[in-house]
């Protein structure tokens, strides 16, 4: 995969040198690598070879897929959060969160087309790719 051009070979050598000489290495892996467990085994093996687990700055950090997956599954982000969740946000962070429900992806597009939504803020990800095909 990396052997197709000079730049990729240099990058691979640079990454290899870092792994060999660094005191600790942390590996961050994304969905394409974390979904099939056999693929995840290889970076784990590399980290184990150099003793990079159990030391400050070392280890592995699987980063879960698309921002919708990350938000929904990890921190409870939802376009229609429960009142209990909003109460907890208020109590923990000391501000009153908006109580009106938002839009999911398809509703967002309809709101933009109908002039209901006046602002669209994207914070990473690819909104077009997140839209269902039907």
Contact 52, 28 (CB under 8 A): no
pTM above the 0.85 mark? no
**Distance, CA of 42 to CA of 21 (rounded, Å):** 19
Q: What is the pLDDT of residue 70?
A: 54
Instruction: State yes or no: pLDDT of 93 exceeds 90.
Output: yes
Q: What is the pLDDT of residue 1?
A: 46
Q: What is the pLDDT of residue 2?
A: 43
Q: What is the mean pLDDT of the chain?
A: 75
Residue ranges of the alpha helices (H) in 24-82? 31-34, 37-49, 67-70
Instruction: State yes or no: pLDDT of 40 exceeds 80.
Output: no
Pick the residue with more confidence: 7 or 58? 58
């Amino acid at each position: 995969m990396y052997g197709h051009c000079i730049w990729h070979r240099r990058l691979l050598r640079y990454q290899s040198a870092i792994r060999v000489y660094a005191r600790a290495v942390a590996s961050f892996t994304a969905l394409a690598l974390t979904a099939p467990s056999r693929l995840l085994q290889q970076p784990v093996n590399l980290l184990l070879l150099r003793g990079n687990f159990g030391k400050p700055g070392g280890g592995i950090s699987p980063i879960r897929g698309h921002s919708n997956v990350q938000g929904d599954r990890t921190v409870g982000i939802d376009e229609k959060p429960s009142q209990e969740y909003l109460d907890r946000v208020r109590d923990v962070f000391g501000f009153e969160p908006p109580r009106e429900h938002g839009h999911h992806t398809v509703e967002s597009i309809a709101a933009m087309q109908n002039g209901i939504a006046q602002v669209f803020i994207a914070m990473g990800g690819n909104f077009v790719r997140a839209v269902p095909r039907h």
